[in-house]
Structure 1
Amino acid sequence: MSKSIFLASAVIVVLTSGSALAQSGGAAVGAGAGAAGGAAVGGPAGAAVGGVTGAIVGGIADQQQREFRDYVTTQHIPSYTYKEEVRVGAVLPEEGVVLREVPTQYKVKQYRYTVVNGIPVLVEPGTRRIVQVLH
């Protein structure tokens, strides 16, 4: 019985982490940290819950992404033309890319945003690495 619960929890964590990775690097990092913290406190079930909670903390939550994209549109931010694929992990150059503060209601004060090839992205300001692409 205990092995079944553990296996089911492990599958949930893997699936949750995989979908978080597909969404964004920030969410993936958050999911991993949340799963590790949840496992330490609550075992396998805690890892599953922690992984989901951590993914939400890592970037703009799924339910707020449309609202954020609408907000960015109203700001009329010039789009930076990037010759590479706009993806999580890509590093934006210092020249020509202006990073802006994310409004507090989105709860990602550690990141900034900009628009690249017409797509809003969250960026880690210290490294200029894209942590979430908001299609």
Structure 2
Amino acid sequence: MRMHLTGAVAAFLLLAGIGAAAAEDVVITPEQDTVVHEYVKKQPLASMKVPGVELNIGSSLPDTVELHEVPNVKYRYVVIDNRTVLVDPGTRKIVKVYD
């Protein structure tokens, strides 16, 4: 019985850790998404290439990539390979890729 209880506690702690990690996921509200879409249309940027960087959520952009502000949104944007990329300026990690 004790082995089953220990296993159950371990499983619970593992799932709790996964839940905590999921809580740190970036959530972009529909309002922020609308602000980004409208702003990017009004302030288009030239597309650039960033060799060695895959456009995936969580990928980091090098310091050489200039990030541009979006009013009232904490994230910044850049256009890479003709795709608008939303980036956390503190970590430089991609939080959303628009097609």
Q: Is this a same-fold pair by TM over 0.5?
A: yes
Deviation at 1:66, TM superposition (A): 6.0
- Structure 1 stretches of at least 4 aligned residues deviating more than 6 Å after TM superposition: none
Amino acid at match of 1:33: A
| Structure 2: gaps spanning 5 or more residues | 1-20
Shift in alpha-carbon separation, 1:112–1:67, aligned structure 2, 3 A: closer
C-alpha distance in 2 between matches for 1:66 and 1:81: 26
User: What does the per-residue CA deviation read over 1:7-30, in whole Å, with 9 as the maximum and x for residues that have no partner?
Assistant: xxxxxxxxxxxxxxxxxxxxxx7x
8 Å CA contact retained: 1:91, 1:129: yes
Residue 90 (structure 1) aligns with: 59
Judging by fraction of residues, say which structure has more helix: 1
Give the 5 Å matches for 1:1-135: 32-33=22-23, 58-61=27-30, 65=33, 68-83=36-51, 84-95=53-64, 97-104=65-72, 108-109=73-74, 111-135=75-99
Secondary structure of 2:79's counterpart equals strand
8 Å CA contact retained: 2:39, 2:70: no
Identity within the alignment, %: 41
Structure with max Cα Rg: 2
Secondary structure of 1:86's counterpart equals coil
8 Å CA contact retained: 1:69, 1:120: no
| Structure 1: gaps spanning 5 or more residues | 1-28, 35-54
User: What does the per-residue CA deviation read over 1:91-121, in whole Å, with 9 as the maximum and x for residues that have no partner?
Assistant: 11111x21111222xxx32x21111111111
User: What does the per-residue CA deviation read over 1:62-91, in whole Å, with 9 as the maximum and x for residues that have no partner?
Assistant: x76466334313212122212332111111
TM (norm. structure 2) is: 0.60
User: What does the per-residue CA deviation read over 1:39-62, in whole Å, with 9 as the maximum and x for residues that have no partner?
Assistant: xxxxxxxxxxxxxxxx7x72252x
Cα RMSD over matched residues?
A: 2.7
TM (norm. structure 1) is: 0.46
Aligned length: 78
